[in-house]
Amino acid sequence: MDHKHHIVVVGGGAGGLELVTRLGNRLGRRGKARITLVDAGLTHVWKPLLHEVASGSLDANANEINYRAHARKHHYEFQLGRMTGLDRSEREIVIAPFLDGDGDEVVPERRIPYDTLVLAVGSTANDFGTPGAQDHCLFLDSLPQARRFHNLMLNAFLRKNHYAREGRPHPLPITIIGAGATGVELAAELRLASRELPVYGMNHLAPEDIHISVIEAADRILPALPPRLSLAATRELERQDVKVLTGQPVAEIRDSGIVMKDGTELPSEMTIWAAGIKAPVWLRALDLELNRSNQLVVRQTLQSITDPDIFALGDCAACPQPGSERPVPPRAQAAHQQADTLFRTLRHRIQGGEAVPFVYRDHGSLINFSRYTTVGNLMGNLSGRSMYVEGKVARLFYASLYRMHQNALHGPLRTAIIWAMDRVSRAMQPRLKLH
């Protein structure tokens, strides 16, 4: 039997899932290669939507993609498990034993051989070693964390509503550390939740009882984006009664609040860490070149500088760009573009061709303030200049980002059907997920 080139992709996030979908449709379907996706979870939810799952404005169950079902439709294999090791001499990855909820072993440790390995394992929050962060902060790196946050939020609102009904003190201070896109958008979603919940029976708790604050160590929120966008975002948050604190490094997180670098203490009953990212710590055990953020150092072709048979894309990759000292930014649009480039590279690789260098094209940034408004800047393809947009036009562009991801995974017909079903679901379901 002829050996089929085996491409193993570890990580079913935005970039990894788009890559195996295209590889399966083009190479797996025609028997030109064997494609395998490895992920520790059974389902995929687009990571930029996790803050909406956390606040309850999005039902994750309606937006999940089951890897097994998707693999069958798109001609690749799916292996459930968490990668823990790499044997480069044998070209094998090590998958940890799979345990059930009681800790009993369901599937033992196993090894998966590869000819080409792609690591697309995303990122986790970087707390920069801040004392108390791991013990007292909530994170939104994964779907389970977003669901946990949602349950804690509903319970906190219910408890404070009960206090209000009894005439007891009932303010609920919620603090978001980090005013990047996730932190800013989460603040707007939480404000929406505070205004919607009274409609569903928690009518003793007023929106002004929910004190939402955003803390940013830099001198402005959204520091990686143009100043005009930061200013517009600040004004919108303040209009929504969200307190914005900039130039305020956090020194310590406590159970009941936050201590700033200047010694100021802020009360906080729910603290969310949304500042900074790093690649997963377990990558350190793979004997591949990493940077200080645990990202795999790759060439412009997305190949590891340690091993040309290993590629990386998305947040876990530090990819250089010509004429720039900074690597490609960890953004969803970068992962989408890298998946497209790597698809072409792997097609060429099987045919004995050369790798395609990755060139990042910044199409701009959009910040969505829940159902209130959307602001952003779009990059002109010809002029290279950015165009500021807001309101309905910006919201349309923002919604199209998720539809583009769905189109990459399902094709235009199924995406149109999903869009129609989403419209029906929004008309029939409550505006917030209440459980």
**Residue 109 sits in the same domain as residue 160:** no
Which pLDDT score, from 0 to 100, does residue 150 have?
94
In a domain, 433, yes or no: no
**Residue 106 sits in the same domain as residue 10:** yes
The full length of the chain comes to: 435
In a domain, 128, yes or no: no
- Asked which of 258, 273, 288 is the last residue of a domain, the reply is 273
CATH of residue 141: 3.50.50.60
Instruction: Give Cα separations from 155 to 150, 255, 336, 406, 425 (angstroms).
Output: 9, 17, 37, 33, 25
In a domain, 356, yes or no: no
**Residue 267 sits in the same domain as residue 295:** no
Q: Supply the DSSP string of 339-395, one letter for each residue.
A: HHHHHHHHHHHHTT-PPPPP-----EEEEEETTTEEEEEEE-TTT--EEEEEHHHHH
Q: What is the mean pLDDT of residues 308-334?
A: 92
Six-digit token pair at 222?
């959204």
Whether the predicted pLDDT of 432 surpasses 80? no
- Asked which of 221, 244, 273 is the last residue of a domain, the reply is 273
Q: For the chain, how many helices (H) and strands (E)?
A: 11, 26
In a domain, 34, yes or no: yes
**Residue 287 sits in the same domain as residue 391:** no
Contact between 192 and 221 (Cβ < 8 Å): no
Instruction: Convert the pLDDT of each residue in 93-111 to its tens digit.
Output: 999 998 888 888 888 899 9
Total count of domains within the chain: 3
Confidence of residue 382 (pLDDT cuts 50, 70, 90): very low
The parent domain of residue 249 ranges over 133-273
- Asked which of 301, 320, 350 is the last residue of a domain, the reply is 350
**Residue 139 sits in the same domain as residue 265:** yes
**Residue 185 sits in the same domain as residue 249:** yes
Residues forming beta bridges with residue 9, ordered by sequence position: 37, 118
Instruction: Convert the pLDDT of each residue in 179-189 to its tens digit.
Output: 999 999 999 99
**Residue 266 sits in the same domain as residue 159:** yes
**Residue 146 sits in the same domain as residue 257:** yes
The Cα–Cα gap between 166 and 115 comes to 66
In a domain, 373, yes or no: yes
The pair phi, psi for residue 111, each rounded to 5°, is: -120, 140
**Residue 338 sits in the same domain as residue 371:** no
In a domain, 359, yes or no: no
**Residue 203 sits in the same domain as residue 107:** no
Burial class (CB in 10 A: 0-12, 13-18, 19+), 232: buried
Instruction: Convert the pLDDT of each residue in 20-48 to its tens digit.
Output: 999 999 999 999 999 999 999 999 999 99
**Residue 197 sits in the same domain as residue 116:** no
Whether the predicted pLDDT of 81 surpasses 90? yes
HSE, side-chain direction, 13 A CA sphere, residue 293? 20
Q: What is the mean pLDDT of residues 348-369?
A: 91
**Residue 70 sits in the same domain as residue 155:** no
